[in-house]
């Protein structure tokens, strides 16, 4: 019990054998190595190769593994052995029986030997398992499985010992059971269990044959051989019991006592009721009992085994010792040696069982599965249980399952839960509610699982088990399954012994890095499994990469790296495109901005020019205003003189031949003439074309200006109301031969003009003013008019002359204060220069100024309303003009002026002051002055 308190429950090194997932190798049309594109696709970035070499080069520290080679030693309480059955069984009695000759002719001995060797070579080539050494084997799948399911060979090592096919029963006993028997005889319980598929040699190993006895016979011989060696101080007794657990027609689990008088057994709590123990005194007696029990054991012929065991057979050899004292023998301690021959798992395809036999097969398989499950979930120093057996041994603990029937018949979930419970319990060392309660007794500990319906007794016991396998190719799967069940107890190595040609054909050229790896990679434990899984993943990735890269898109969902990179690349492309689009938009906006700036500059220039123009206009406006003020002042001056001058100019241009008369009436209301409130000037030009000139217009100038009224009634005769200047009357021809007449009022137009006319001179005394009209095109004419009528004719040039008649009705003039000046000039002096030196054009301009009224109070003063809306010309009062011209006259100089100056179209400004009208008027004045 002291050992129980300090159990050596160290976490064992576990190895999970995981077969590579079955993958269907895609057929490769050729063994040519596919070329990997050197340049990655534009859409897919370059993917770095998976660092398989680095991963595989990592040295994983292995957990300290128990030296299973020293399993026979007392240091380890659980040993695992492997025994390989011979591939070809030699039927017993063959050596003695003579083969029946098919013919009487003798056989060639050499040929016979060659046939045997060939047969043995073929058989050996078909073996799926080969012994590497005393502790390791290599399990190789058949070629068909290598090709189709890509299963690799696996090396299992760590066995306590591997018995090859030629190993004898004695050797197995010596290596495996003898140490256990030695412990048993020294007072330590132990167990031996044989596991393996059907027909692998379990029964052969445990019971043997009469000629080749098995472990039970050999153990009995040793037990009874050494009984005498036990100390003389105590006396030992051995009891033998044998029973089986079987399934009756697959309906349920039954236990049968195989002793000669034994019957069915029943389970009560943790003990089997009704089991008989037979005391044995020697080995022969024990063997005889066992032989008889075996005759009762349920066996059947299957395709796998002619005498297949159909039940689990358990043999218990119990030893009792007693020490003699003074009163008698005192029991010291019972030890049990348990030997179990399990029913082998079988597959339906191989056994060919049907009906009840098939149900029985299922029962066997379930039992084996649970046993293997317990082995699997329990690691070294862990648990093992045997259904119906009072005790089973795991390291220093012994378990007794009291309800094996329920376990066997439990559902898969319950079995898994039991296995999980065992695992948790023995790994965590802490029972939970699932495990129920924990009890300690004299033999060990007892764990009850009420919910699961069973309990486990833990006893101190040394145990071992042996795995038997068949080496045939057809037995590969059974062998592999068994070895994986026992994997928690050994090291597992993976070996690539697959033919490289197959790799080339199946795994393609990407498997070449693996070839470079060591042929055997020593990984064990869970790390090995993890590495294997990682390698599987890597291999899958490699296989995905192995194909054409054009299939990467198809496999993209399986390759997260590729997907991520593709997404990143796509995002990068989107970002780039977006940036380009934004850049283009910005460039467009920049161009538009430049255009807008240029337009702005143009507008600014225009604005500046407009401002300049506006300033010029303002300046002109100011000038005009100043001129207007000057005119207004002049008008006001006229008005202040209180002289109303109403005159009517009638200019009649009479041509020599005027078939048509174009009359143009122009009413000029010059602001200069009527700037006064009271003044009004009406000018009427009547143009009458000459006889020869059809288009010669008749211009009638009507001036009705009250401002011309003379305020100074005491005007001298020498004072004339206005003096037409040479350039003050401008006739201009515009469209339709419209002549404009500019009458510029002189600054001194306020000169009073007093006219005193007589009736008899109504007609003759009309002052005639010869007006020189150069031409309509010259836009200049001279109008020199006075209050008198001038008849001016040119004697020198008869072709062209101008006559201006200014009619001033004397009746309309006041005679009281006005001096009538009537003078008729018939001067031969040519005053009108022809417009053209050619004699053809004969233009006659006759300007008649009629009814020039100077009288303010005259009731007959004809006032014509000013009809001119826009002042087109600046007209100066005639009186002002006359006075100005008169004041500027220089008689002497005037006469000295050459006549040739008139031929020009333009007259100089200083020459304009000396006109013909002025000259005539000066003559008249001089004449009058002389008078
Ligand atoms: N190591 C061996 N050497 C010679 N023959 C063997 C060996 N192992 C097994 N055999 C023979 O193989 C046959 C089947 O063996 P055995 O009955 O022991 O298999 P088994 O595992 O008990 O099968 P089952 O589980 O069906 O009972 C027997 O005839 C046996 O003699």
pLDDT for residue 849: 37
Residue 857 known to bind ligand: no
Output 378 or 491, whichever has higher pLDDT: 491
Cβ contact 752:819 at 8 Å: no
Instruction: Tell me, in angstroms, the distance from the centre of ligand 1 to residue 344's CA.
Output: 11
pLDDT for residue 420: 53
Helices (H), 641-716: none
Residue closest to 646 by CA, chosen among 789, 808, 768, 761: 808
Cβ contact 653:696 at 8 Å: yes
Residue 250 known to bind ligand: no
Residue 200 known to bind ligand: yes
Mean pLDDT of 236-263: 80
Q: Of 95, 199, 216, 471, which is best to mutate to test ligand 1, by the most ligand atoms within 8 angstroms of its C-beta?
A: 199
- In angstroms, the CA 361 to CA 354 distance is 9
pLDDT digits (tens, 9 = 90+) for 765-781: 433 434 443 444 434 43
521 membership: H or E segment, kind and range: strand 520-521
Which atom of ligand 1 lies closest to the CA of 83?
Answer: 1
Three-state DSSP class for 99?
coil
pLDDT for residue 140: 87
Q: Extract the tokens encoding 547.
A: 């194909």
Instruction: Tell me, in angstroms, the distance from the centre of ligand 1 to residue 308's CA.
Output: 9
pLDDT for residue 235: 74
pLDDT for residue 538: 38
Return the residue matching tokens 């011309």: 708
Q: Of 168, 302, 305, 467, which is best to mutate to test ligand 1, by the most ligand atoms within 8 angstroms of its C-beta?
A: 305
Instruction: Kindly state if the Cβ of 310 falls inside 6 Å of ligand 1.
Output: no
Instruction: Tell me, in angstroms, the distance from the centre of ligand 1 to residue 119's CA.
Output: 21
Instruction: Kindly state if the Cβ of 196 falls inside 6 Å of ligand 1.
Output: yes
Instruction: Kindly state if the Cβ of 202 falls inside 6 Å of ligand 1.
Output: yes
Residues in Cβ contact with 653 at an 8 Å cutoff, skipping those fewer than 6 apart:
686, 687, 688, 689, 690, 696, 697, 698, 699, 773, 844, 845, 846, 847
Residue closest to 869 by CA, chosen among 668, 686, 708: 668
Reported confidence tier of residue 251, pLDDT bands at 50, 70, 90: low
Residues in Cβ contact with 176 at an 8 Å cutoff, skipping those fewer than 6 apart:
72, 79, 81, 160, 161, 192, 215, 464, 466
- In angstroms, the CA 28 to CA 32 distance is 9
Which residue lies with its CA nearest to atom 8 of ligand 1? 201
pLDDT digits (tens, 9 = 90+) for 737-794: 333 334 343 333 433 434 343 444 444 443 343 444 344 443 443 334 333 344 433 3
Residue 148 known to bind ligand: no
pLDDT for residue 499: 37
Q: At what angle do helices 215-225 and 283-296 cross, to 10 degrees?
A: 150
pLDDT for residue 583: 87
Q: Which of 49-53, 59-63, 242-246 has the lowest mean pLDDT?
A: 59-63
pLDDT digits (tens, 9 = 90+) for 140-196: 888 877 777 777 788 888 888 999 999 999 999 999 999 889 888 888 777 788 888
Helices (H), 69-190: 109-125, 143-148, 169-172, 178-185
Does 336 score more than 90 pLDDT? no
Residue 201 known to bind ligand: yes
The per-type count for the chain, helices as H runs and strands as E runs, is 24, 34
Which residue lies with its CA nearest to atom 14 of ligand 1? 199
Q: Extract the tokens encoding 621.
A: 């406006």
Output 68 or 575, whichever has higher pLDDT: 575
Reported confidence tier of residue 475, pLDDT bands at 50, 70, 90: confident
Q: What is the ipTM of this complex?
A: 0.98
Instruction: Tell me, in angstroms, the distance from the centre of ligand 1 to residue 204's CA.
Output: 5
Q: Of 92, 193, 203, 468, which is best to mutate to test ligand 1, by the most ligand atoms within 8 angstroms of its C-beta?
A: 203
Q: Of 92, 204, 302, which is best to mutate to test ligand 1, by the most ligand atoms within 8 angstroms of its C-beta?
A: 204
pLDDT for residue 91: 58
pLDDT for residue 599: 93
How many residues are present in the chain? 931
pLDDT for residue 886: 52
Q: At what angle do helices 215-225 and 178-185 cross, to 10 degrees?
A: 40
Instruction: Kindly state if the Cβ of 85 falls inside 6 Å of ligand 1.
Output: yes
pLDDT for residue 41: 44
Output 316 or 299, whichever has higher pLDDT: 316
Does 806 score more than 60 pLDDT? no
> Whole-angstrom distance between the N-terminal and C-terminal Cα of the chain?
187
CA distances from 316 to 618, 689, 761 (A): 141, 171, 190
Instruction: Tell me, in angstroms, the distance from the centre of ligand 1 to residue 789's CA.
Output: 176
Beta strand residue intervals within 381-443, DSSP E: 392-394, 397-399, 437-440
Q: Extract the tokens encoding 792.
A: 């001016």
pLDDT for residue 514: 35
Does 292 score more than 80 pLDDT? yes
Does 510 score more than 60 pLDDT? no
Which atom of ligand 1 lies closest to the CA of 209?
Answer: 31
Instruction: Tell me, in angstroms, the distance from the centre of ligand 1 to residue 300's CA.
Output: 13
Reported confidence tier of residue 108, pLDDT bands at 50, 70, 90: low
Cβ contact 296:313 at 8 Å: no
pLDDT for residue 162: 93
Which residue lies with its CA nearest to atom 5 of ligand 1? 89
Instruction: Kindly state if the Cβ of 198 falls inside 6 Å of ligand 1.
Output: yes
Which atom of ligand 1 lies closest to the CA of 165?
Answer: 1
Residues in Cβ contact with 872 at an 8 Å cutoff, skipping those fewer than 6 apart:
668, 740
Residue 262 known to bind ligand: no
**Mean pLDDT, all residues of the chain:** 58
Three-state DSSP class for 344?
coil
Reported confidence tier of residue 491, pLDDT bands at 50, 70, 90: low
pLDDT for residue 168: 92
Which residue lies with its CA nearest to atom 15 of ligand 1? 201
pLDDT for residue 888: 52
Instruction: Kindly state if the Cβ of 89 falls inside 6 Å of ligand 1.
Output: yes
How is the chain split into domains, by residue range? 548-640, 641-930
Output 147 or 296, whichever has higher pLDDT: 296
Does 60 score more than 60 pLDDT? no
Instruction: Kindly state if the Cβ of 344 falls inside 6 Å of ligand 1.
Output: yes
Which residue lies with its CA nearest to atom 10 of ligand 1? 201
Supply the Cα-derived Rg of the chain in whole angstroms: 76
Residue closest to 66 by CA, chosen among 16, 134, 13: 13
Range ranked top by mean pLDDT from 450-464, 573-587, 855-869: 573-587
- In angstroms, the CA 727 to CA 743 distance is 8
pLDDT digits (tens, 9 = 90+) for 660-715: 434 333 343 444 434 333 433 333 434 334 444 443 334 434 444 444 443 344 43
Does 651 score more than 70 pLDDT? no
pLDDT digits (tens, 9 = 90+) for 819-841: 433 344 344 434 344 434 344 43
Cβ contact 918:792 at 8 Å: no
Instruction: Kindly state if the Cβ of 200 falls inside 6 Å of ligand 1.
Output: yes
Q: Of 196, 201, 205, 301, which is best to mutate to test ligand 1, by the most ligand atoms within 8 angstroms of its C-beta?
A: 201
Q: What percent of the chain has pLDDT over 70?
A: 32
Q: Extract the tokens encoding 223.
A: 């037990």
Does 613 score more than 80 pLDDT? yes
Range ranked top by mean pLDDT from 235-249, 383-397, 502-516: 235-249
Residue 202 known to bind ligand: yes
Residue 650 known to bind ligand: no
Which atom of ligand 1 lies closest to the CA of 200?
Answer: 21
Residues in Cβ contact with 281 at an 8 Å cutoff, skipping those fewer than 6 apart:
224, 238
pLDDT for residue 731: 39
Cβ contact 362:250 at 8 Å: yes
Mean pLDDT of 3-19: 39
Which atom of ligand 1 lies closest to the CA of 309?
Answer: 27
Instruction: Tell me, in angstroms, the distance from the centre of ligand 1 to residue 202's CA.
Output: 6
Does 136 score more than 80 pLDDT? yes
pLDDT digits (tens, 9 = 90+) for 111-123: 454 545 545 444 4
Three-state DSSP class for 336?
strand
Q: Extract the tokens encoding 456.
A: 């486990």
């Amino acid at each position: 019990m002291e050992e129980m308190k300090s159990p050596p429950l160290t976490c064992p090194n576990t190895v999970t054998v995981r077969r590579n997932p079955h993958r269907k190798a895609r057929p490769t049309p050729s063994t040519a190595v596919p070329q990997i594109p050197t340049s990655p696709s534009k859409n897919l970035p370059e993917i770095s190769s998976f660092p398989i070499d680095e991963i595989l080069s990592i040295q994983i520290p292995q957990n300290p593994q128990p030296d299973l080679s020293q399993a026979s030693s007392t240091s380890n309480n659980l040993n695992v052995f492997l025994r390989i059955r011979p591939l070809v069984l030699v039927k017993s009695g063959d050596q003695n029986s003579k083969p029946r000759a098919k013919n009487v002719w003798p056989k060639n001995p050499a040929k016979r030997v060659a046939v045997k060797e060939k047969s043995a070579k073929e058989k050996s080539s078909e073996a799926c398992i080969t012994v590497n050494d005393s502790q390791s084997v290599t399990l190789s799948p058949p070629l068909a499985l290598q090709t189709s399911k890509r299963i690799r060979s696996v090396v299992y090592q760590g066995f306590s010992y591997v018995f090859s096919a030629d190993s004898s029963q004695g050797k197995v006993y010596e290596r495996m059971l003898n140490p256990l028997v030695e412990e048993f005889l020294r007072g330590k319980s132990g167990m031996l269990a044989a596991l393996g598929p059907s027909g692998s040699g379990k029964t052969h190993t445990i019971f043997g044959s009469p000629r080749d006895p098995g472990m039970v016979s050999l153990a009995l011989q040793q037990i009874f051989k050494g009984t005498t060696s036990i100390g003389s101080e105590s006396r030992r007794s051995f009891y033998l019991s044998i029973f089986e657990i079987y399934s009756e027609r697959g309906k349920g689990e039954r236990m049968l006592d195989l002793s000669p008088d034994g019957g069915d057994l029943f389970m009560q709590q943790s003990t089997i009721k009704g089991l008989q123990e037979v005391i044995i005194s020697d080995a022969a007696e024990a063997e005889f009992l066992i032989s008889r029990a075996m005759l009762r054991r349920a066996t059947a012929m299957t395709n796998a085994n002619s005498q297949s065991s159909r039940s689990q057979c358990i043999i218990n050899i119990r030893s009792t010792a007693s020490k003699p004292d003074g009163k008698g023998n005192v029991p010291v301690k019972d030890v049990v040696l348990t030997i179990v021959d399990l029913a082998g798992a079988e597959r339906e395809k191989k056994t060919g069982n049907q009906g009840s036999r098939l149900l029985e097969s299922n029962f066997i398989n379930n039992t084996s599965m649970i046993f293997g499950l317990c082995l699997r979930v329990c690691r070294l120093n862990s648990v093992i249980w045997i259904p119906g057996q009072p005790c089973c041994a795991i390291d220093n603990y012994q378990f007794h399952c009291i309800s094996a029937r329920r376990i066997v018949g439990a559902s898969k979930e319950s079995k898994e839960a039991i296995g999980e419970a065992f695992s948790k319990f023995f790994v965590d060392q802490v029972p939970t509610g699932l495990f129920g309660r924990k009890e300690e007794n004299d033999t060990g500990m007892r764990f009850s699982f009420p919910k699961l319906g069973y309990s486990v007794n833990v006893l101190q016991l040394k145990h071992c088990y042996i795995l038997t396998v068949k080496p045939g190719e057809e037995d590969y799967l059974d062998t592999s399954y068994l070895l994986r069940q026992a994997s928690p107890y050994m090291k597992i190595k993976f070996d690539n012994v697959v033919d490289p040609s197959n790799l080339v054909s199946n795994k393609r050229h990407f498997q070449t890095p693996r070839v470079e790896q060591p042929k055997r990679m020593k990984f064990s434990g869970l790390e090995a499994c993890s590495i294997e899984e990682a390698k599987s993943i890597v291999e899958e990735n490699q296989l995905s990469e192995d194909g054409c890269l054009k299939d990467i898109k198809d496999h993209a969902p399986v390759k997260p790296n590729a997907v991520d990179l593709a997404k990143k690349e796509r995002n990068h492309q989107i970002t780039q495109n977006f940036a380009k689009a934004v850049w283009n938009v910005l460039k467009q906006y920049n161009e538009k901005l430049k255009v807008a700036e240029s337009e702005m500059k143009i507008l600014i220039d225009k604005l500046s020019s407009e401002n300049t123009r506006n300033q010029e206009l303002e300046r002109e406006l100011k000038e005009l205003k100043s001129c207007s003020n000057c005119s207004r002042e002049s008008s006001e001056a006229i008005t202040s003189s209180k002289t109303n001058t109403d005159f009517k100019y009638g200019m009649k241009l009479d041509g020599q031949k005027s078939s048509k008369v174009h009359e143009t009436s122009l009413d000029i209301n010059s602001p200069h003439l009527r700037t006064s409130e009271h003044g009004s000037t009406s000018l009427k030009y009547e143009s009458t074309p000459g006889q020869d000139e059809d288009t010669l217009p008749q211009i009638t100038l009507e001036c009705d200006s009250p401002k011309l009224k003379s305020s100074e009634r005491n005007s001298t005769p020498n004072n004339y109301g206005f003096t037409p200047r040479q350039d003050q009357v401008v006739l201009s021809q515009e469209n339709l031969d419209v002549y404009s007449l500019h009458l510029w009022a002189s600054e001194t137009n306020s000169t009073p003009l007093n006219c005193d006319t007589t009736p008899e001179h109504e007609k003759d005394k009309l002052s005639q003013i010869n007006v020189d009209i150069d031409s309509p095109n010259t836009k200049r004419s001279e109008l020199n008019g006075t209050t008198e009528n001038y008849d001016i004719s040119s004697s020198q040039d008869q072709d062209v002359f101008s006559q201006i008649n200014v009619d001033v009705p004397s009746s309309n003039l006041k005679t009281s204060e006005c001096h009538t000046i009537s003078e008729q000039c018939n001067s031969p002096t040519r005053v009108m220069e022809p417009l053209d030196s050619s004699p053809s054009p004969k233009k006659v301009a006759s300007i008649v100024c009629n009814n020039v009224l100077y009288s303010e109070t005259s009731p007959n003063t004809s006032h014509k309303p000013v009809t001119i809306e826009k002042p087109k010309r600046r007209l100066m009062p005639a009186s002002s003009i006359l006075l100005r011209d008169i004041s500027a006259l220089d008689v002497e100089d005037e006469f000295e002026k050459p006549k040739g100056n008139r031929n020009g179209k333009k007259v100089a400004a200083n020459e304009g002051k000396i006109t013909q009208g002025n000259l005539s008027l000066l003559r008249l004045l001089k004449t009058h002055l002389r008078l």
